[in-house]
Structure 1
């Protein structure tokens, strides 16, 4: 009985099948594609159901192709070659990136650092459209359909994603002049224990503050925490409103510092820095618009 033509989802399953065969395991294939072992296994099961045949012999330690699996493998290789030829034609045929680029970025940093670069990118590549999500909530960029995510403090990135460091952003302790006049500006780290600290929270995690003393030792900062927020932009607004001391990336508040709307707290102390990174899928042929935009980010944000 003739089987229906492959749908878009089944094309993905064919490529997952090819990755499993080449990697020799569901775990390694899933890692290369940004999928869990379970998701890769389910994709193969759906493909087998569509084909009406078992494609892989599975044991606890090995995978081997069945006769039907070898035939499907040949088609999968042809399919991948055709897709790569299309991708190559799109990204290099005209030389210009095109299509929609979906970007996820933190709110405050996205507004001040990334959005101006997006503007220049759109001007340089008129055939590109950008959809940008600005939020401090950490979500799964693959599930959200993002092509690229800008993140702060990524300690264990998804193994299916490339993590490229764009810059180290200095942090600054700051508060409004009104707040510091009202409470007496701290001159030593331990003085912060008497102040209201505006803390950034992220899905039940709280950022720990550390400040470097003159002898080079790093000291953990403690203080009252009556207001906790999950947005860097909201923390900036709270600091401007005189609600306490904030620890924020310099680029977020440098305009406020220059205008005198915020003042540095303990200006002679190093408040540390954070890494700003770009995350994007690990693909043999990276989409041209993603590659061009990441390169522009790296050049513009380089120290």
Structure 2
């Protein structure tokens, strides 16, 4: 047990000697005297039974064994620092770059009106917001957090928290319905011009449930295929076809009569809006502050 209690003796001192390049600099960094630093390294070498450093009056250099030991010490010290940061992270003031990805329509309609409150409250956070309808890879693309709107999240090792729930609406303009007629049943969509969303898993498969809960699957043909909900809405208002978009993507198109709901008596599929973030990293103060802010301002 005595040997185990001495495992870390001299390790941090040796690390700073190598990093700074001299005993004097290591003494300044650690707040000890140069003689103390020298004695700690000597004791470490004696305990290990190997020479770690070649010393001359003008320079220091690592032995082959010293190079290996330094690399191992560096990893141990960095791991210890990460463990400490994980514990105290929630107590630190939020700061640094915060990279977030969000669907365009939700970002413009819901997120943008409240972001100034967040940046005013957390002025040390540099917010980097990417509005993009494609499904980004949170880890490989380097995001701290992504916002996703979907009927069902895919299973993963990531953590998700729901912000709110919207619903998918089938819509068309009065001019389109006057020309082509109002569909009475989802199967009627096969005879209509349909504007579809390319980022859906199956853009040409529209799923419904009747009032008894029975599933109805309709294979539609794309008149226009796009990856942007705002363009879908614009084309719908222009009478170019029938669209299906989340309610949060709309402004006042229904209220003004620019778009009319189709199948209004059918149950509407729920679309959850979620924040997704890594579970493998500790929760930094900047991420925690953003999650809390969004739940407070936009949450159900």
Give your verdict on TM over 0.5: yes
Query: What is the aligned counterpart of 1:253 among 245, 250, 253?
Result: 250
Q: How does 1:129-144 map to 2 (within 5 A)?
A: 129-144=126-141
How far residue 191 of structure 1 moved from its aligned partner, in angstroms, is 2.4
Residue 171 of structure 1, CA deviation = 0.8
Matches within 5 A, 1:128-207: 128-153=125-150, 155-159=153-157, 161-202=158-199, 205-206=202-203
* Number of equivalenced pairs: 241
Residue ranges of structure 2 left out of the alignment (5+ in a row) = 1-14, 21-62
Question: Paired residue for 2:78?
Answer: 79
The Cα shift of 1:140 comes to 1.8
Q: 1:285 to 1:190 in 2, by over 3 A?
A: closer
CA distance, structure 1, for counterparts of residue 102 and residue 140 of structure 2: 15
Q: Which runs of 5+ in 1 are unaligned?
A: 7-50, 54-67
Does the 8 Å CA contact 1:137/1:203 hold for their aligned counterparts?
no
Give 1:256 deviation, angstroms.
1.6
Q: What is the Cα-based RMSD across aligned positions, in Å?
A: 3.2
User: Following the alignment from structure 1 to structure 2, what is the Cα–Cα distance between the partners of residues 5 and 179?
Assistant: 72
Residue pair 2:97, 2:126 contacting (<8 A) in 1 also: yes
What residue number does 1:92 align with?
91
Alignment TM-score, normalising by the size of structure 2: 0.69
TM-score (norm 1): 0.68
Pair 208,142 (structure 1): closer, same or farther in 2 beyond 3 Å? same
User: How much has 1:78 moved relative to structure 2?
Assistant: 2.8
CA offsets, 1:200-228, max 9 Å, x none? Answer: 11288426312222333121124432211
- Paired position in structure 2 for 1:117: 114
In structure 1, the partner of 2:211 is 214
With over 3 angstroms needed to count, the CA separation of the structure-2 counterparts of 1:287 and 1:248, relative to structure 1, is same
Partner of 2:293: 296
Counterpart for residue 59 of structure 2: none
Q: Are the aligned partners of 2:90 and 2:283 in contact in 1 as well (CA < 8 Å)? A: no
Q: CA deviation at 1:143?
A: 2.5
The 3 A distance-change label for structure 1 pair 142 and 52 is farther
Which has the larger displacement, 188-197 or 131-140?
Answer: 188-197
CA distance in 1, matches of 2:246, 2:200: 20
Task: Answer whether contact 1:157 1:163 (CA < 8 A) is retained.
Answer: no
After superposition, residues 39-54 of structure 1 pair within 5 angstroms as: none
Task: Check the 8 A contact 1:210/1:271 in 2, yes or no.
Answer: no
Partners of 1:115 and 1:140 in 2: CA distance: 22
| Cα 1:88–1:226 shift into 2, 3 Å | same
CA contact (8 A) 1:197 1:223 kept: yes
Counterpart Cα distance in 1 of 2:64 and 2:117: 51
Cα deviation, residue 100, structure 1: 2.1
